[in-house]
Amino acid sequence: MSSGYRSLAMMGGGLLILALLSACKSAPLASAAPAQFDLSGRWVLLADLSDLPPRGRRLSDTPIPPKVENRQQRVQRGRQDRGGLAFVAHDFPVMAAQRMTIEQNQDSMGIDYDRGRYRDLSWGERERGMWTVVTGWNELGELVSRWRASDAKAQETYQLSGDGQQLTVLLAVKTGTDQLDLRRVYSKLN
């Protein structure tokens, strides 16, 4: 691939990230699931269709120094020591999940990730630690979870195939000058 084509591809990826993150301020989300949108079940990663989770120092699990006194100071110190995206693996376990079990009802869903992680998502607006989270369905019928904090924003978009057997999760996170764009694709186990 020539460098001109690579530059265009990189610009296209950057525009996708900007579009997903700008959607954090876009149209309100519906609080009722569209017909046939049910994520309940067990899901396994399709590695050949998914991005690899990032590795390296900016996402490392370097311990936070013990002299920090409260949670907010710990969060800030952790970001300074490890970079702006250090919290991503903790707050967004989908980025490394090989398997998920999802239970969905009419006002929320619970996701049990491998590696012992669990998370609830409720439709509407909720506070979750340092985040304000708004979850619902967009005009395309995708489940969208928008996350806002004072120094970060993120969006998870859940796209379910027409036959309900494949789930694509798009994750876009921006903190300061750091940004992450990740695609994870899962197949439903019967």
Q: Assign domain 3-52+98-189 to its CATH architecture.
A: Beta Barrel (2.40)
Distances from the Cα of 164 to the Cα of 3, 139, 159, angstroms: 39, 18, 10
What does the pLDDT read at residue 36?
Answer: 84
Q: Which of 32, 45, 152, 137 is nearest to 88 (CA)?
A: 152
Q: Give the pLDDT mean for 165-190.
A: 93
The one-letter amino acid at 87: F
Q: Residue 97: what pLDDT?
A: 94
∠ at Cα 78 (74, 80), nearest 5°?
120
Of the two residues 158 and 11, the one the predictor is more confident about is 158
47 has a pLDDT exceeding 50:
yes
Give the chain's mean pLDDT: 79
How much of the chain exceeds pLDDT 90, in percent?
A: 52
The pLDDT assigned to 172 comes to 96
What count of Cα atoms within 13 Å lies in the side-chain half-sphere of residue 159?
Answer: 11
| Residue-level pLDDT at 58 | 45
Dump pLDDT digits (tens) for 74-133: 444 444 444 556 667 778 999 999 999 999 999 999 999 998 899 999 999 999 888 999
Whole-number pLDDT of residue 87: 66
CA-to-CA separations, 33 to 124, 131, 188, in angstroms, rounded: 12, 23, 19
Query: Among 62-76, 126-140, 142-156, which is the least confidently predicted range?
Result: 62-76
Stronger pLDDT, 12 or 159, i.e. the higher one: 159
Q: What is the pLDDT of residue 124?
A: 95
d(CA 51, CA 157): 15
> Which pLDDT value is given to residue 147?
95
- Domain boundaries of the chain, sorted by first residue: 3-52+98-189
